[in-house]
Structure 1
Amino acid sequence: MTPLPVPNNGTSDSPPDRAWLRDALDLMAAEAARSADTHLLRVPLRPAAGIDLYVKDESTHPTGSLKHRLARSLFLYGLCNGRIGPRTTIVEASSGSTAVSEAYFAQMLGLPFVAVMPASTAPAKVAEIARYGGRCHFVEHPGAVYAEALRIAEETGGHYMDQFTHAERATDWRGNNNIAQSIFEQMARERYPVPAWIVVGAGTGGTSATIGRYLRYRGHATRLCLADPETSVFHRHLADPSVTARSGTASIVEGIGRARLEPSFLPSLIDRWVAVPDAASLGAARALTEVIGRSCGASTGTNLWAAAELIAEMTARGQSGSVVTLLCDSGERYRATHLDPHWIRARGLDVDAPRSAMMRFLATGCAPGAETGPELVTRSPVRQP
């Protein structure tokens, strides 16, 4: 893409030129108009179950993931708050997908971009950032990304996007074609147009905040379930509000689950949580890929496992309705990690048992935990209004 012309508006720390800003916002609007909404796919379940399952396929965004929405919102937030100008270096702390999407928008505006990310980030994401002209700066410990991103932004005179702080405030949760509004518009003609549950993971917490606020704003009876990696702090905080951080091994599921309670995560909006082990996430993602013919990343498997738990409970109670969750990104980004048998074996993971359990669930409605052992997941009761 051709960079925007840089107006001669004085020193590098003077306010962004209004003409450049207008052109930048026009480019952002044109990109949004070109990006058609993502598909809502119905997942085949056993016949006559009385429950319909849908996944919203966010992998079809131009940058291949749910984070495309967040990156657009963060850029608009930075532009309209006067924090991004014609010479601003954009810096972000990310496990990969947000950085890919931000690199795309930075290239569109002709701005330099630096992604600070863990050294364990999937190589395919690193390659995509480079393809959009971005530079990757690696840290060994995932918890070091925040301070290092801030340091680089200060040294370059750039703007630290800080998705973990700004995600919940950058998106217009009242509508404006956000993901929640899109889901309800696409569900309008379905058998059960108002879902009983929407299931999402949380990394920044921006998506769960957007959906949770929209549900309340529109008065929907839909409840929000957090699908969380087993090693994440989010579900621990929901169980015990005094817990705000954890140490130990990080989840291999990129994009969701954190070791610290992020500012954009809003616990009061979550009605239920399900904690899912990494092996179950990988196995469920494989099963969904087979069933719908769309490659699915591990965070999608986390979402699906939690959705399956809810559906099995609804079935046991004789309830009918719909459940919606997200296909966050493509499994193709993880060819060198999650989809590599040698990588899986080196970590001692058994993904075949949970894959088979999820396939049985989709065919029979039997809760996947019932097939692999009740200790596989932990879950909370439904929060009462």
Structure 2
Amino acid sequence: MTPHPRSREWELNAIRVLEADANRSADTHLHVFPLPAEWGIDLYLKDESVHPTGSLKHRLARSLILYGLVNGRIHEGTTLIEASSGSTAVSEAYFAEMIGLDFVTVVPRSTSAEKIRFIEFYGGRCHYVDDPTEIYAEAERLSSECGGYYLDQFTLAERATDWRGNNNIAESVFAQLVLERYPIPSWIVVGAGTGGTSATFGRYVRYRRHPTQVAVVDPENSAYYEGWRTGDASHTTGIPSRIEGIGRPRIEPSFIGDVVDEVLPIADAASLAAIRVLQERTRYWAGGSTGTNLVGAFQLIARMLASGERGSVVTLICDGGARYSATHYNDEWIAEQGLDLAPERARIESFLASGEWN
């Protein structure tokens, strides 16, 4: 069915508006994490927290909406639907408001008031379900009922981003490394929520014929490590991750395990200890998923040191710490979770002094 000419004009303008945002904000900073000079290894942090909506999901949200537009699924007046209570919904609400569309996200009733405020700040609306596992089906039902478009991050993330380039996160990282002493990193370390970021990096390094390996770090209660290790794509845990933004109770369709070289399980206490070390050593205030990334990077660097290898490692600052002041940076919340950060913090400090991961 051919859209009305006025609708086509609206769609072209919407694409222009989203691309203009990318032109303003896509190339985020690449920071250096301080390591002993004698190690001969450089650790870089791609700071995705500086996006207008404050997280890595800014890229994903833009890509998902562009994907719907260029496929002729989003028109003037279309209501956008998602299943997300986190950063993806915040970013999607931002872009929906930018192009004048209504946005509704399906969220568990237990979602924190802080997250709801972020989504509503950009004009998004939340539709609540009692059972978190129902968010997918309920989003599909709402989309069908209102004639809207289901953005479906957990299915479409791996295909909505052009892995060959077009200023995606992988292309940006390699462009920023070109003048560094090790411009082709040995490892790229990322978490997996939808799996879209690991798919983009994994495909890009193969397409560009780089020897770079891609590691996914996986928090407690997530299905990705065990599913990848055993090859069982149906593996589930039924338990949500405490490290928001990464980890899933099921293996999502967008996770492409064949382009991942290693999956590392990371203890939640280690992730939360790492963000405190990061803040003290660099002044960067980040969320728990950044800590998961760091712990994985530290383990791989220790492995490189043990084998006498020099080179570079890249990971991400996924979002800022302000969103987690009541959880990941709250000692009472830590205690309620039954976590003890002290041993993991000591392990990290020992590694940064000795280069050994015990």
RMSD: 1.7
What is the identity, as a one-letter code, of the residue corresponding to 1:71? A
The residue that corresponds to 2:275 in the other structure is: 285
The question of whether the paired residues in 2 share the 8 Å contact of 1:89 and 1:159 is answered with yes
Q: Using structure 1 for the length normalisation, give the TM-score.
A: 0.89
* Matched ranges for 1:2-41 at <5 A: 17-41=7-31
The CA deviation at 1:246 is 1.7
1:209 paired residue number: 199
2:235 matches 1:222: no
1:57-88 Cα deviation digits (max 9, x unpaired): 00000000000001111111001111111111
* C-alpha contact 1:124 1:334 (8 A) present in aligned 2: no
- Return closer, same or farther for 1:65/1:282 CA change in 2, 3 Å cut-off: same
* Farther off after superposition, 222-231 or 57-66: 222-231
* 2:180 is the alignment partner of 1:190: yes
Identical-pair percentage: 57
Deviations 1:8-62 (A, max 9, x none): xx9xx97971111121112112212221510001000123111111110000000
Over 3 Å counting, the alpha-carbon distance change for 1:225 and 1:360 in structure 2 is: same
Work out the CA distance in 2 between the residues paired with 1:43 and 1:363: 14
Q: Which runs of 5+ in 1 are unaligned?
A: 1-9, 371-385
1:331 counterpart (321, 326, 339): 321
Match of 1:173 in 2: 163
- Output aligned runs, 1:333-372, within 5 Å: 333-367=323-357, 370=358
Alignment correspondent of 1:93: 83
CA contact (8 A) 1:16 1:84 kept: no
How many pairs are equivalent? 357
The range that moved more, 343-352 or 76-85, is: 343-352
Q: Distance in 2 between matches of 1:167 and 1:248?
A: 22
Instruction: Determine the C-alpha separation between the residues in 2 that align with 1:15 and 1:241.
Output: 48
Is 1:108 matched up with 2:98? yes
Contact residue 80 and residue 149 of structure 2 kept, 8 A: yes
**In the TM superposition, what is the alpha-carbon distance from 1:116 to its structure 2 partner?**
1.4
TM superposition score normalised by structure 2: 0.95
Structure-1 separation of matches of 2:6 and 2:351: 55
Deviations 1:124-158 (A, max 9, x none): 32211111000122334332211111111122211
2:121 alignment counterpart: 131
Secondary structure, in 3 states, of the residue corresponding to 1:198? strand
Where in structure 2 are the equivalents of 1:54-73 lying within 5 Å?
54-73=44-63
Instruction: Determine the structure 2 residue equivalent to 1:378.
Output: none
In structure 2, runs of 5+ residues without a counterpart are none
Partner of 2:73: 83
Structure 2 vs 1, CA of residues 89 and 150 (structure 1 numbering), >3 Å: closer, same or farther? same
Partner secondary structure for residue 176 of structure 1: coil
Name 1:159's counterpart in structure 2.
Answer: 149
Q: Deviations over 1:256-315 (max 9, x none)?
A: 111111111101001111101211111112211221111111111111111111111111
| 8 Å CA contact retained: 1:40, 1:55 | yes
Cα distance in 2 for partners of 1:36, 1:159 equals 25
**Distance between the aligned counterparts of 2:143 and 2:262, measured in 1?**
37
Q: Give the aligned residue type for 2:69.
A: L
- 2:300 is aligned to 310
**Distance in 1 between residues matched to 2:60 and 2:232, nearest whole Å:** 29
Cα distance in 1 for partners of 2:202, 2:100 equals 35
Q: What's the CA shift string for 1:105-137, capped at 9, x where partnerless?
A: 000011111111234444332211111000122
